[in-house]
Amino acid sequence: MKTLDLIRLKKTYQVYDEPRMFFLHPLHHKDTAWIALLGAFITIAFTNPHDVQDALRNHVEWDTLLFFAGLFVLVEVCAAMGLLTAIGGALAYVIKSQPEENQMAIAITLILWVSAITSAFLDNIPYTATMIPIITILADE
C-alpha cells in the first residue's frame, strides 16, 4: 500500500474560510453537532418568533426528514441485529473461496449484480445507507 504524503496533500487541497468553532475541537472537545445546535438556538433566539413558526410550518419538509430519520434507525437496527455483518460475511466468504487472482473481479461483479438486483426493489438511498457498512466489512476482510 502506498504511503500518503500529507504535507503535499495539505498544500494541494487547502481548506479556506473554515468555521472556527468546528475546528477548535482540540480546545473545547465538543462534538460538531452540539456546536451546530448551539448556532441554531442562537439564531432562533434572535429571530422574530412568528418567522420561526412560519418557517417550521411551511418551509421545512417534515416528510423527508422523518423518512431519513426512520431510514437511519432501520439501518442501525439491522446492524445491531447482526444482519449487515452476516451479509458482509457471506459476501466475503464467496469472494474468499475464489482463487487469489480472481477475487477482485469476483468482488466487483458480485457487488455490481447485488446492487442491480436490490435496486430493482429498493430505492437507491436506503440501499446505499445499508451497503456502506457491508462494503466496510468487506474492505476489512
pLDDT of residue 21: 63
DSSP symbols for 51-75? HHHHIIIIIS-HHHHHHHHHHHHHH
pLDDT of residue 135: 84
Could you give the CA distance from residue 135 to residue 27 in angstroms, rounded to a whole number?
34
Backbone phi and psi for residue 60, each to the nearest 5 degrees, phi listed first: -100, 130
25, HSE (Cβ side, Cα atoms, 13 Å): 10
Average pLDDT, the chain: 80
Summarize pLDDT for 62-112 with one digit per residue, the tens. Answer: 898 898 888 888 888 888 898 878 888 888 888 889 898 988 899 899 888
pLDDT of residue 109: 92
Contact 92, 138 (CB under 8 A): yes
98 or 12, which is more confident: 98
Could you give the CA distance from residue 15 to residue 1 in angstroms, rounded to a whole number?
26
Contacts of 111 (CB under 8 A, 6+ apart): 91, 135, 138
Give the global pTM. 0.52
